[in-house]
Amino acid sequence: MSILQPVVLSGGSGTRLWPLSRESYPKQFLSFSGDGRSMLQHTVQRLEGLGEQPAVAGPLVVCNAEHRFIVAQQLAELGLAHPRIVLEPAGRNTAPALTLAALAARSAQTPDADSPVLLVMPADHVIADVPAFHRAVAAGWQAARAGAMVVFGVMADRPETGYGYIRQGPPRADGSFDVLGFTEKPDAERARRYLDAGDYLWNSGLFAVRADVWLQAIGRYRPDILAACEAAMHGALQDVDFIRPDTAAFEDCPSDSIDYAVMERLPSDAAAGVPAALVPLAAGWSDLGAWDAVWSVQPKDAAGNAAVGPAVSMDSRNTLLFSSGRLVAGLGLDDLVVVETPDAVLVARQDRLQEVKQLVALLRERGDTLAGAHRKVHRPWGWYDEIDAGERFKVKRIVVNPGASISLQKHHHRAEHWVVVRGTAHVTQGDEVRLLGENESTFIPLGHVHRLANPGKLPLEVIEVQSGSYLEEDDIVRYEDTYGREREG
């Protein structure tokens, strides 16, 4: 019997949720639920309790190579010690990502095993009713095991212009429904007609399909994608939990989505031998693609206002105030979204939120690094936040995870002062090694080889003051690094 192989697609950049979501740390790694768990973590946790039939394998995560340590860390926090993580050398949309996953799943199965059913889940969705999700997955697994390409459709409750639509056909013997066709994001008038018709559902972006069926379909419609992915996986390297497809081969792969490449072609192509099937999903689904979606899933007061973090509103209506730390106060606001982060603030009308992506593009054209990166920078050993900077100085707050360390390195143009404010620091400076406790400090002169490590079980927090003629992150000569980096900080 086929196993169910969850495939988590975690490659998006989430630019419409700027300034909270940015390329260096996009929305799937952020928490919108108040429990501290990221959207990626909730996606994986959602699999718990699916049952023994079908048997469920551990998740296979596909992500951008630059995010590999973030993914590994967040999965480790869930107790997944050795997950399988496929690293995309470049972003090529969901069809190549799923093809890499299907090839990885096929390579892991024994020769006499049935082809696994892939449960394809974007890492940036919200599902409020997990038992209802499980019931839909069980129905989709039955249809997919029999050879269908299954899409999960969400019952529309408003004329939404930000989603694609699926037209539902007659019921099938396996309990799913035929798919009559797909429609991309409609205008408001067409969206209203779809809602009134009652047989159009939102396209959730969740799919179930056997690995061999997907490879057959992508080979029929986009043989160029299949060939590039096969070449990339043929040259793949296994690095602990990471599967690294060949970079050159994958960079030659065309970009396309699952919908465009395969799904939308199936209803009119009976000769393909792959029926398109629809399983309705009524599980409190939301695609947090923009700030209006975040507003819609938050608790609201009687006037429709939602507040996240330290925020307060007065005489306001249908407004979202989202604070990452500082108090945000709104007075007399109507249909607005205000998002505060340490280095940027967004103020936008609710009806213009789909245009945040264009705003980020404008920032890129101006050369603004905040379009894609946060002031707080995540590293495989932890993170740092640039607190202040001026001529010939920079101040950072550094947090090193338990058991982790920065690389053994030196700098040509700066000296550093370290003050331990929490935890215990294991400091290497030249041939000298020593431990520093809270409120103790050390000085690293320019050109001295050094390393900072955390030997404890709690995070190590250090305030670093840099001084010198050049203070950028590329002033690093790295001698040893646990994480296989070359020029990263």
Tens digit of each residue's pLDDT (9 = 90 or more) over 350-359: 999 989 999 9
Buried b (16+ CB within 10 A) or exposed e, 45-76: ebbeebeeebebbebbbbbbbebbbbbbbbbe
Question: pLDDT value at position 239?
Answer: 84
- In the chain, % helix, strand, coil (3-state, to 5) comes to 25, 35, 40
pLDDT value at 331 more than 60: yes
| Percent of the chain residues past pLDDT 70, beyond the cut | 98
**Separation CA 317–CA 102 (nearest Å):** 47
Structure tokens at 380: 């495989």
Q: Which residues, 6+ apart, have CB-to-CB distance to 443 below 8 Å? A: 415, 416, 417, 418
For the ranges 109-118, 244-253, 300-309, the lowest mean pLDDT is seen at 109-118
Asked if 444 and 416 touch (Cβ cutoff 8 Å), the reply is yes
Residue 79 DSSP one-character state: T
| Percent of the chain residues past pLDDT 90, beyond the cut | 84
Q: Which residues, 6+ apart, have CB-to-CB distance to 67 below 8 Å? A: 10, 26, 29
132 closest CA partner among 155, 149, 108: 155
| Sheet strands (E) in 363-459 | 376-379, 382-390, 393-400, 408-410, 414-422, 425-429, 432-436, 441-444, 450-453
**Separation CA 288–CA 281 (nearest Å):** 17
Q: Which residues, 6+ apart, have CB-to-CB distance to 402 below 8 Å? A: 454, 456, 457, 458, 459, 460
Asked if 413 and 471 touch (Cβ cutoff 8 Å), the reply is yes
Q: Which residues, 6+ apart, have CB-to-CB distance to 442 below 8 Å? A: 417, 418, 427, 429, 434, 436
**Separation CA 390–CA 428 (nearest Å):** 28
Residue 25 DSSP one-character state: B
pLDDT value at 346 more than 60: yes
pLDDT value at 489 more than 70: no
Average pLDDT of span 437-453:
96
Question: pLDDT value at position 14?
Answer: 87
Pairing of strands 237-239, 242-244: antiparallel
Question: pLDDT value at position 488?
Answer: 43
Strand partners, 171: 177
pLDDT value at 438 more than 70: yes
Confidence of residue 486 (pLDDT cuts 50, 70, 90): low
Q: Which residues, 6+ apart, have CB-to-CB distance to 418 below 8 Å? A: 425, 427, 436, 441, 442, 443, 444, 452, 462, 463, 464
The CA R_g of the chain, rounded to the nearest whole Å, is: 25
Question: pLDDT value at position 36?
Answer: 85
| Burial of residue 367 (number of CB atoms within 10 Å: 0-12, 13-18, 19+) | exposed
Pairing of strands 460-468, 393-400: antiparallel
Asked if 250 and 116 touch (Cβ cutoff 8 Å), the reply is no
Q: Which residues, 6+ apart, have CB-to-CB distance to 100 below 8 Å? A: 62, 86, 88, 229, 232, 233, 245, 250
Confidence of residue 35 (pLDDT cuts 50, 70, 90): confident
Q: Which residue intervals of 280-437 are DSSP H helices?
A: 291-297, 356-365
pLDDT value at 345 more than 60: yes
* Domains delineated in the chain: 4-287 (3.90.550.10), 301-369 (no CATH), 376-480 (2.60.120.10)
Place of tokens 């994608």: 225
Residue pLDDT, tens place only, 47-60: 998 876 678 999 99
Structure tokens at 293: 């979606």
Pairing of strands 408-410, 477-480: antiparallel
Average pLDDT of span 77-102:
94
**DSSP string across 141-178:** HHHHHTT-EEEEEEEP-S--SSS-EEEEEEEPTTS-EE
**Separation CA 164–CA 436 (nearest Å):** 56
Confidence of residue 487 (pLDDT cuts 50, 70, 90): very low
**Separation CA 488–CA 422 (nearest Å):** 25
Average pLDDT of span 150-175:
92
For the ranges 84-88, 159-163, 273-277, 406-410, the lowest mean pLDDT is seen at 159-163
Residue pLDDT, tens place only, 358-375: 999 999 999 999 999 999
Residue pLDDT, tens place only, 167-225: 999 999 989 999 999 998 898 899 999 999 999 999 999 999 999 999 999 999 999 99
Residue pLDDT, tens place only, 380-399: 999 999 999 999 999 999 99
pLDDT value at 248 more than 80: yes
Mean pLDDT of the chain: 93
Structure tokens at 122: 């974007």
Provide the CA 240 distance to its chain's centre, in angstroms: 21
pLDDT value at 448 more than 80: yes
Return the number of other C-beta atoms located less than 10 Å from residue 3's C-beta: 16
14 closest CA partner among 255, 289, 351, 345: 289
* Cis before 455 (ω within 30): no
Sign for the CA dihedral angle at 367, 368, 373, 379 comes to positive
